[in-house]
């Protein structure tokens, strides 16, 4: 009894990795013309389900019907040929190629003789039609994550995908970018295509989806029409208990200015100056939040402070010492910890085990090494201790860290940095992509650092995260400080205006 309104049906799908069931008896139905939200904790099996549909994995058991027909996609290419494409949680673009070249890459119908100009024109038109503007001639590495994501979606549209799977797309977007993406998603659904939307943010699920399916421990635990689903009920379905996010009280013990950034200037990627004379102080026991639309100098500011890019002028002072020109290793020695935005790109070594990754920054010191010798047993012991303390789930001995789910990667990264006992913790979007329970855990971790007297610089485009953790907030716009205020005066409206370029402060 094929139901012609269904695009895809999963019945009792199983998928195990090394004996651990990532999908266990999953039932899932995707209709044509709907936005279908997929919810579940970190490690619940959402990406696995999506990857089966996209042809990256093959199920171990169960039935997979595609437009009513039993189907197996052997490769992502197969899936794409049938009209199923996925934007992965970790992007897969070739960063030295241009946007247009990435669209053409591996395209079955494109011969060698399509001109660069034609390609770029196609990309521009498609971008306009679907509200996904991006410069077709730009190289991927020059783009912000939000722009890279648009390229990923355009790539699927260029191949005429009927089913688009977006695995946590909003985790890398600003609220404004997310709203634009939702419009695009609704447009795709209105055209009769199907969109799978993975997100941890219940208000987004409420806003954009027609239906929702909830996974827990690899199994389907429920589903509903979104209009009938209360966020509180969905949260309980996901984690099996009621949740409270931590609340932040004013820290009475704000101390000395640990980190002083004075008139800092840092170059950007395209030769322009990305940070244009920024000054602020972060005190011991304080969280300073930096907000702004992605691409307004946040990345370069972080690079300039941690030593990944030498500032062109201005100073960075740590505990009274001028560290402006110091390299990363020397700054780590002096107590600078950094949680980057891209976990697998910069933060973690994807091919090493979780234990080795956890020891990665401390390895030059005892007890990890004694002279030139690395103590393997210490890596193991400390690793096990931290995996337990930070509740990093899904770790299996000897296997590379890249196999962990997104949220657990983030916990591993934070654990490693926090265990250095930093004086300054610089964190970019630390709860991005985390489920409600893990968000609770990571927020508590950051607040615990603050209570210990660490100076925390929180750089985030997520206003929920920023307002939940910061004592003071500063807004960056086009490389300058547009405004700054105590957190209790920072309403989303006021921040939104500043982020959009309404300055309260004359840039120096
Ligand atoms: N290729 C793989 N090899 C080994 N284990 C894997 C692999 N992919 C996923 N897993 C494991 O399967 C489980 C489900 O992972 P999955 O990535 O599907 O979770 P998720 O719901 O997408 O989580 P998140 O919200 O953190 O992204 C996890 O325990 C994960 O570690
Ligand atoms: Mg995932």
Residue 198 token pair? 């993975």
Last residue of a domain, one of 218, 239, 260: 239
Say whether both 65 and 198 belong to one domain.
yes
Contact at 8 Å (CB) between 93 and 151?
A: yes
Residue 434 lies in a domain: yes
Q: From CA 197, how far away is CA 191, in angstroms rounded? A: 17
Most informative mutation of 13, 14, 16, 17 for ligand 1 (most atoms within 8 A of CB)? 17
Question: Residue 202 domain-assigned?
Answer: yes
For the chain, the straight-line distance linking the first and the last C-alpha, in angstroms and rounded, comes to 69
Nearest protein CA to atom 10 of ligand 1, as residue = 403
> What pLDDT, on a 0 to 100 scale, did the predictor assign at position 302?
96
Phi, psi (rounded to 5 degrees) for 400? -65, 150
- How much of the chain exceeds pLDDT 70, in percent? 93
| 3-state SS class at 363 | coil
Q: Which helix (H) or strand (E) holds 449?
A: helix 436-452
Q: Which range of residues forms the domain containing residue 327?
A: 246-335+423-508
The answer to whether position 342 is within a domain reads no
Question: 44 and 165 share a domain?
Answer: yes
Both structure tokens of 324: 């402006």
Cβ distance 427 to 446 under 8 Å? yes
Task: Calculate how far, in angstroms, residue 89's C-alpha sits from the geometric centre of ligand 2.
Answer: 6
Q: Are residues 469 and 440 in the same domain?
A: yes
Centroid of ligand 2 to alpha carbon of 406 (angstroms)? 6
Last residue of a domain, one of 420, 450, 468: 420
Q: Domain check: are 28 and 105 in the same one?
A: yes
Instruction: Give the CA angle between residues 40, 8, 24 to the nearest 5°.
Output: 40
Residue 297's contacts (CB-CB under 8 Å, 6 or more residues apart) are: 266, 268, 274, 275, 276, 278, 476, 478, 479, 480
In a domain, 180, yes or no: yes
Closest-CA residue, ligand 1 atom 25, reads 42
**Where is 159: in which H helix or E strand?**
none
Same domain for 364 and 328: no
Pocket lining: 354 vs ligand 1, CB cutoff 6 Å: no
Cα–Cα distance measured from residue 384 to residue 254, given in angstroms and rounded to the nearest whole number: 34
Ligand 1 atom at minimal distance to the Cα of residue 433: 25
The pLDDT assigned to 508 comes to 40
Give the separation between CA 267 and CA 313, rounded to whole angstroms: 10
Q: Do 477 and 365 lie in a common domain?
A: no
403 close to ligand 1 (CB < 6 Angstrom): yes
Q: Which token pair is 100? A: 């247009």
Q: Report CA(242)–ligand 2 centroid distance (Å).
A: 22
Q: Which residue among 47, 169, 351, 409 has the greatest number of ligand 1 atoms within 8 angstroms of its CB, and so is best to mutate?
A: 47
Q: Are residues 134 and 234 in the same domain?
A: yes
Q: Which atom of ligand 1 is nearest to the CA of 393?
A: 29
Residue spans of alpha helices (H) in 201-277: 202-208, 231-239
Is the beta carbon of 304 within 6 A of some atom in ligand 1? no
Interval between CA 138 and ligand 1 midpoint (Å)? 33
Query: Cα(439) to centroid of ligand 2, in Å?
Result: 15
Domain end, chosen from 239, 269, 301, is at 239
Which tokens belong to 75?
A: 């490769």
Which of 43, 46, 54 is the best mutation target for the ligand 1 pocket, counting ligand atoms within 8 Å of the beta carbon and taking the most?
A: 43
Distance CA 474, CA 478 (A): 13
What are the two backbone dihedrals, phi and then psi, of residue 403, each rounded to the nearest 5 degrees? Answer: -80, -10
- Compute the distance from residue 21 Cα to the ligand 1 centre, in Å: 9
Question: Does residue 44 belong to any structural domain of this protein?
Answer: yes
**Do 427 and 409 share a domain, yes or no?**
no
Residues in the chain: 508
**What is the DSSP code (8-state) at residue 139?**
B
Please tell me the distance from the alpha carbon of residue 34 to that of residue 49, in angstroms, as a whole number. 18
Q: Which two tokens stand for residue 83?
A: 């009209």
Handedness of CA 75, 433, 38, 492 (dihedral sign): negative
pLDDT computed for residue 202 by the predictor? 85
Residues 381 and 401 in one domain: yes
Q: Which residue numbers in the chain have pLDDT < 50?
A: 507-508
CATH code assigned at 191: 3.40.50.300
pLDDT score for 226: 96
> Which tokens belong to 406?
């997104």
Give the total number of structural domains in the chain: 3
Torsion (CA) 452, 453, 459, 463 in degrees, nearest 10: 70
pLDDT of residue 389: 87
Integer Cα distance of 37 and 199 in angstroms: 7
Indicate whether 340 belongs to any domain.
Answer: no
Sign of the torsion angle spanned by Cα atoms 253, 259, 263, 268: negative
Q: CA 469, CA 447: separation in Å to the nearest integer?
A: 7
Task: Give residue 41 CA to ligand 2 midpoint distance, Å.
Answer: 9
pLDDT attached to residue 380: 80
pLDDT at 1 (0 to 100): 57
Note whether 228 and 130 are same-domain residues.
Answer: yes
Within a domain: 65 = yes
What is the structure's pLDDT at 494?
A: 86
Please say whether the beta carbons of 479 and 296 come within 8 A: yes
Same domain, 413 and 496: no
If asked whether residues 383 and 313 sit together in one domain, one would say no
CA of 46 to the centre of ligand 1 (A): 8
Tally of CB atoms within 10 A around 111? 6
The position carrying tokens 């409420």 is 206
Q: Whose CA is nearest to atom 11 of ligand 1?
A: 22
Structural domain contains residue 344: no
Listing DSSP states for 54-113 in one string gives: TTSS--SEEEEEETTEE----SHHHHHHHTEEEE-SS----TTSBHHHHHHTT-TT--TT
pLDDT value of position 126: 93
């Amino acid at each position: 009894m094929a139901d012609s309104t269904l695009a895809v049906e999963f019945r009792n799908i199983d998928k195990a990795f090394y004996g651990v069931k990532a999908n266990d008896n999953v039932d899932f139905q995707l209709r044509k013309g709907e936005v279908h939200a997929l919810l579940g904790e970190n490690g619940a099996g959402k990406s696995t389900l999506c990857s089966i549909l996209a042809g990256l994995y093959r199920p171990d058991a169960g039935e997979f019907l595609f437009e009513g027909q039993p189907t197996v996609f052997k490769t992502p290419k197969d899936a794409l040929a049938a009209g199923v494409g996925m934007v992965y949680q970790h992007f897969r673009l070739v960063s030295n190629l241009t946007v247009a070249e990435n669209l053409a890459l591996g395209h079955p119908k494109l011969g060698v003789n399509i001109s660069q100009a034609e390609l770029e024109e196609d990309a521009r038109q498609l971008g306009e039609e679907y509200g996904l503007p991006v410069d077709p001639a730009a190289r991927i590495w020059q783009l912000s994550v939000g722009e890279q994501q648009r390229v990923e979606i355009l790539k699927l549209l260029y191949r005429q995908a009927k089913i688009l799977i977006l695995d946590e797309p909003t985790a890398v977007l600003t609220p404004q970018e997310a709203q634009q993406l939702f419009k695009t998603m609704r447009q795709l659904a209105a055209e009769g295509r199907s969109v799978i939307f993975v997100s941890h943010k219940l208000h987004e699920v409420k806003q954009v989806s027609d239906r929702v399916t909830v996974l827990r421990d690899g199994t389907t635990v429920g589903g509903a029409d979104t209009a009938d689903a209360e966020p509180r009920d969905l949260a309980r379905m996901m984690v099996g208990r009621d949740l409270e996010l931590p609340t932040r009280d004013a820290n009475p013990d704000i101390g000395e200015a640990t980190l002083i950034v004075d008139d800092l200037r840092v170059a950007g990627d395209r030769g322009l100056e990305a940070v244009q004379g920024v000054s602020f102080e972060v005190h011991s026991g304080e969280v300073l939040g930096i907000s702004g639309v992605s691409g307004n100098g946040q990345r370069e500011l972080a690079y300039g402070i941690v030593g990944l890019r030498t500032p062109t002028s201005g100073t960075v002072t740590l505990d009274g010492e001028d560290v402006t020109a110091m390299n990363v290793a020397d700054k780590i020695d002096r107590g600078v910890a950094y949680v980057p935005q891209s976990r697998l790109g910069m933060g973690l070594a994807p091919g090493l085990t979780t234990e080795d990754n956890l020891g990665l920054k401390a390895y030059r010191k005892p007890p990890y090494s004694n002279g030139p010798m690395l103590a393997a047993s210490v890596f193991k012991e400390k690793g096990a201790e931290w995996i337990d303390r930070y509740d990093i789930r899904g770790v299996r001995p000897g296997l590379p860290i890249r196999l962990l789910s997104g949220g657990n990667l983030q916990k591993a990264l934070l654990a490693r940095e926090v265990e250095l006992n930093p004086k300054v913790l610089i964190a970019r979007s630390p709860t991005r992509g985390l489920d409600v329970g893990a968000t609770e855990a990571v927020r508590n971790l950051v607040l615990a650092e603050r209570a210990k007297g660490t100076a925390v610089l929180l750089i985030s485009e997520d206003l929920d995260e920023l307002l939940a953790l910061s004592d003071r907030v500063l807004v960056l716009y086009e490389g300058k400080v547009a405004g700054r205020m105590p957190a209790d005066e920072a309403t989303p409206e006021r921040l939104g205006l500043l982020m959009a370029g309404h300055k309260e402060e004359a840039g120096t």
